[in-house]
Amino acid sequence: MKIKKSILILFFIVINLTMLAETPIEIINKSRDVIKLNGVEMIISLITKDRNNNVRKQKIASISKLYSDNTEKKIMRFLYPTDVKGTGFLSYDYEKKDDLMWLYLPSLRKSRKIAASERSKSFMGSEFSYSDITSFKIEDFKYSILGEENINGEKCWKLEQKSKNDDIADDYGFFKKIVYISKRNYMVMKTESYDEDDELCKVMEALGIKKIDVKRNRYRATHLIIKNLDNGRSSEMIIEKIKLRENIKDSYFTTRFLERN
């Protein structure tokens, strides 16, 4: 009788633990939510090095706003150096459909819409792609939990994010990613991107993370580094200044404002 009772108790413990376990989709969703700030202004340094350690430094001003449907609109303007000064980037990051993106080049005096199929292209000559600096559609990928791992002192879930078909892989620039998400705050600590031959091609790490909105428990990676294993280049994004802002004008997030000098 005691044995049967023990087995029954053990059975309910296993069931409860299973119910408490988070699914890959839940973890991914929480990792996206934890970086959503209602309104924020930033100054960002973008530093790129080639395999010979030649360095190119750029500086960017950025403003973003979160809307009630969880759409995040963002505008970025290059401040330095002279050859890119005034160049602008505008994006609408949607949850359930393809993002909208525009690039403004002062030399052409007009903005150009960036197609979803161009997400894998380099952002302003860096190793970050457009897909690295915008969001992604969750339904474009299949997810699975591979286990757990320690990354920079953080206990992380190790997840596989796999493109559902070749067209999606071409659009985003990777066949699959291994994503390491902190079990403490759901921040992405590291990603490993693989090509169609299942070869590791890019590694991105968060070297600095800061809680920006204490009330809403929201974070941002303040220092990201991405390394391209194919060409030996690397790029870093470092947030030099960041400030929460309220009542940001909607007019900032228009191609008309983007094209202002």
Cβ-contact 206, 190 below 8 angstroms = yes
Q: How far is CA 226 from CA 65, 103, 145, 202, in A?
A: 25, 22, 23, 7
CATH number at residue 96: 2.50.20.10
Which pLDDT value is given to residue 245? 96
Q: pTM to 2 decimals?
A: 0.89
Which pLDDT value is given to residue 116? 87
The answer as to whether 3 is a domain residue is: no
The answer as to whether 219 is a domain residue is: yes
Q: How many folded domains does the chain comprise?
A: 1
The answer as to whether 7 is a domain residue is: no
Phi, psi of 142 (to 5 degrees): -105, 145
Lookup result for tokens 């000064």? 85
The answer as to whether 56 is a domain residue is: yes
Q: What is the pairing mode between strands 141-151 and 88-93?
A: unpaired
Which pLDDT value is given to residue 23? 97
The answer as to whether 9 is a domain residue is: no
pLDDT digits (tens, 9 = 90+) for 93-108: 998 888 999 999 998 8
pLDDT digits (tens, 9 = 90+) for 19-54: 458 999 999 999 999 999 999 999 999 999 999 999
The answer as to whether 30 is a domain residue is: no
- 23 DSSP assignment: P
Which pLDDT value is given to residue 219? 98
Between CA 58 and CA 172 the distance in angstroms is: 24
Question: What residue ranges of the chain have pLDDT lower than 70?
Answer: 1-20, 261
The answer as to whether 24 is a domain residue is: no
Range of the domain at 173: 37-258
